[in-house]
């Protein structure tokens, strides 16, 4: 997109200026979430085409239900509406909205323009939120359906990584200080556990979505009760039929003019939580890249810095962190919106929701696509990891050395004091002289430790310091991760082609 626009600008530039067409194009703001990052399917999900064609489908569902329940609506009228679902005159709609100052009525007029026979029954008995809120619920549901397979692919790629490196020892870190050893695969399982929680949260949020249905201006269904001359059963049946046609199993039994805006809180809460997960994972990867232990994919011709040719910046992970930070903040919008919905509704929710709902799903979409790309190309450097372990392991092995000495008849307190002194000497070499950790050499040179010298290599084997990490990886992947991915098996073979 950027290349095409640059070419268009170059071709249109005359006498140092731009044509009116090109200048007008460059003066338009387009959200980077659509123009630069998000997938076509998610961008379409929040597009005007999807929105207004869904409005028309909802008017058809309403007409079909009302016809089936005895209102004078003909097959010809419904067929005319069905034939024009996608034939949206956006220019006419914009003109009508400018004239009427009402988006729904503008599209009612636009639809009736191409459906003259159905003009009298379009939107019959409904309020604006019949199309507005019900469409939002459809879009939220479809948005989750786009995200879930993408999240499943991220989990799958990371699970394969965890399995591959289940036994590779690496330094653990607490407070970002070297701690007890873990394994590369076990650390990946910490990331996976959070992603699995996000998967369950997204599934729950999607599955608990209901349909607003046909509820009328303040949620009382009064207009429909009047249409059906006081027949409550027909009003309830119309609500059920429209809900079913829209692909929902349940409707909200009570609403105001809108569905409760706590539904939006629930949807964006799980996406914000996903953002926190991704931020943590990608921050870890960025820190590991600095340590040169693990790196994200780096293209053959990729440039890390314009001034420093040697740099291999973790730009994918940085992008994920940048967008995840935005995603985490968006939940504040529906929280504040729900808090100020007076009585049956106020319109101060509308502009905010147009932005926050779309941006949350679009942001989550590109974050997952980018993270999949990262997880598919993670590079591990075992020799660097081994060097870091060798640098720290002597200090961590001191307790094992003390216990071995006690078993040969040594006094624990004497041994502890000996190692304390030698450890401080070795630490001074590391911190003050910039040398390597020579604690083991000092122990080998001290006659006091001669009884355990034959055991020393075994006592320093990194595999003996990782506890049950490898077994935990195997069990976790078997019992929790793989079963969670089972419903998405047919959607796993999708590669991500990022425009970096």
What is the set of active-site residues? 175, 305
Pairing state between β 177-183 and 294-295: unpaired
DSSP code for 101: S
- Contact between 115 and 81 (Cβ < 8 Å): yes
**Hey, which residues does 380 pair with through a beta bridge?**
294
Alpha-carbon distance of 120 to 134, in angstroms, equals 22
Residue carrying the six token digits 């600095």:
290
Distance of CA 348 to CAs 240, 341, 342, Å?
Answer: 30, 8, 10
The dihedral built from the CA positions of residue 257, 205, 58 and 224, taken in this order, carries a sign that is: negative
What is 234-253 written as a DSSP string?
Answer: HHHHHHHHHHHHTT-S-B-S
Residue carrying the six token digits 């509704």:
345
Nearest to 483 by CA among 152, 144, 146: 152
Alpha-carbon distance of 85 to 231, in angstroms, equals 31
Q: Please, what is the end-to-end C-alpha distance for the chain in angstroms?
A: 12
Tokens linked to 173: 């870190």
């Amino acid at each position: 997109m950027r290349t095409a626009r640059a070419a268009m600008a170059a071709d249109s530039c005359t006498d140092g200026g731009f044509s009116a067409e090109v200048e007008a194009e460059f003066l338009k703001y387009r959200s980077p979430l659509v123009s630069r990052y998000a997938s076509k399917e998610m961008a379409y999900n929040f597009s005007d085409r999807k929105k207004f064609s869904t409005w028309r489908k909802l008017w058809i569902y309403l007409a079909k239900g009302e016809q089936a329940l005895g209102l004078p609506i003909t097959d010809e009228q419904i067929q005319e509406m069905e034939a024009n679902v996608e034939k949206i005159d956006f220019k006419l709609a914009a003109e009508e909205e400018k004239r009427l100052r009402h988006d729904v009525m503008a599209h009612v007029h636009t639809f009736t323009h191409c459906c003259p026979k159905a003009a009298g029954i379009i939107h019959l008995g409904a309020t604006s939120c019949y199309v507005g809120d019900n469409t939002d619920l459809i879009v939220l549901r479809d948005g989750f359906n786009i995200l879930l397979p993408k999240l499943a692919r991220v989990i799958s790629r990371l699970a394969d990584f965890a399995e591959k490196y289940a036994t590779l020892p690496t330094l653990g870190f607490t407070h970002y200080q070297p701690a007890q050893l873990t394994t590369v695969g076990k650390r990946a399982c910490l990331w996976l556990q959070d992603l699995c929680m996000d998967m369950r949260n997204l599934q729950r949020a999607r599955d608990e979505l209901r349909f607003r249905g046909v509820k009328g201006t303040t949620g009382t269904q009064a207009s429909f009760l009047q249409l059906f001359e006081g027949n409550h059963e027909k009003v309830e049946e119309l609500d059920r039929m429209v809900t079913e046609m829209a692909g929902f199993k349940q409707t909200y039994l009570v609403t105001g003019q809108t569905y409760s805006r706590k539904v939006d809180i629930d949807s964006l809460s799980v996406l914000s939580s996903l953002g926190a997960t991704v931020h943590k994972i990608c921050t870890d990867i960025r820190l590991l890249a600095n340590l040169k232990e693990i790196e994200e994919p780096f293209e053959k011709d990729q440039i890390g810095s314009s001034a420093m040719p040697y740099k291999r910046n973790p730009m994918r992970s940085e992008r994920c962190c940048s967008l995840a930070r935005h995603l985490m903040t968006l939940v504040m919008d529906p929280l504040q919106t729900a808090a100020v919905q007076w009585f049956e509704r106020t319109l101060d929710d509308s502009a905010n929701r147009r932005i926050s709902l779309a941006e949350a799903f679009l942001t989550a979409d590109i974050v997952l696509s980018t993270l999949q790309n990262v997880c598919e190309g993670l590079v591990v450097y075992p020799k660097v990891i081994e060097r870091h372990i060798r640098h720290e392991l002597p200090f961590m092995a001191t307790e094992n050395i003390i216990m071995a000495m006690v078993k040969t008849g040594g006094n624990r307190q004497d041994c502890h004091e000996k190692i304390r002194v030698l450890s401080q000497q070795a630490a001074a070499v590391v911190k003050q002289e910039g040398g390597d950790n020579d604690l083991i050499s000092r122990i080998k040179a001290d006659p006091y430790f001669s009884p355990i010298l034959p055991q020393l290599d075994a006592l320093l084997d990194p595999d003996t310091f990782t506890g049950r990490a490898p077994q935990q990886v195997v069990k976790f992947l078997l019992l929790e991760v793989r079963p969670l991915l089972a419903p998405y098996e047919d959607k796993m073979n999708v590669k991500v082609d990022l425009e970096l």
